[in-house]
């Protein structure tokens, strides 16, 4: 079985748009800015044999605030410009109560099944409590990238970092007892 790095998209790979201290996704490709150190972090993960999977909630599609085509063009742009294997997107709002919307771990379980991933050897890295809860629910180790957003932070995680590159150095330098 393989190991994976599961990444949130906005705030982990690309800059989130901050309004009133809260993060929002870019609405189109013109707003996408890949964060500093992301390419290096992904290269470090790749060198260690991790499958690199992006898991993103994009409820603005369900809410009618952005088109699915716009989200898919951003995902395609990131996939073309970064060394990632796949991107899975939940387009649902909380009210739809789907299994794929973080904090539920449904997308992590789907990827684990499709790619023969050992979740106990894998990591979920995100900048919001939903990301961390999804990782915990799937049985992954978790890394919280803390931007001190004006929202509730996760209460339980394995490591807190300021950037994806810092998280990568921690993960790759740490010897986890599995």
Cα–Cα distances (Å) from 35 to 22, 59, 71, 137, 178, in that order, read 17, 22, 18, 27, 31
3-state secondary structure at position 70: helix
The reply to whether 8 belongs to the active site is yes
Catalytic residue among 8, 60, 127, 158: 8
**Separation CA 90–CA 157 (nearest Å):** 23
**Separation CA 85–CA 130 (nearest Å):** 22
Q: Which two tokens stand for residue 91?
A: 């387009």
**Separation CA 174–CA 164 (nearest Å):** 15
**Separation CA 74–CA 151 (nearest Å):** 25
Contact 103, 133 (CB under 8 A): yes
The reply to whether 10 belongs to the active site is yes
Catalytic residue among 10, 60, 127, 131: 10
- Give the residue numbers annotated as catalytic, written as ranges: 8, 10
């Amino acid at each position: 079985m393989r190991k994976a790095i599961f990444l949130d998209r906005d705030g982990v790979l690309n800059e989130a748009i901050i309004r009133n201290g809260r993060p929002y996704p870019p609405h189109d490709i013109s707003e996408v800015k890949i964060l500093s150190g992301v390419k290096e972090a992904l290269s470090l993960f790749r060198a260690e044999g991790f499958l690199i999977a992006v898991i993103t909630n994009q409820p603005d599609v369900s809410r009618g605030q952005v088109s699915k085509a716009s989200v898919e063009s951003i995902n395609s742009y990131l996939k073309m410009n970064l060394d990632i294997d796949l991107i899975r997107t939940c387009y649902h709002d909380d009210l739809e109560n789907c299994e794929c919307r973080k904090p539920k771990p449904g997308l992590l379980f789907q990827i684990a099944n499709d790619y023969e991933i050992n979740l106990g050897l894998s990591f979920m890295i995100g900048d919001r409590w939903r990301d961390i809860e999804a990782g915990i629910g799937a049985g992954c180790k978790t890394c919280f990238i803390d931007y001190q957003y004006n929202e509730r932070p996760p209460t339980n995680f394995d490591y807190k970092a300021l950037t994806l590159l810092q998280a990568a150095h921690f993960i790759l330098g740490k010897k986890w007892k599995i």
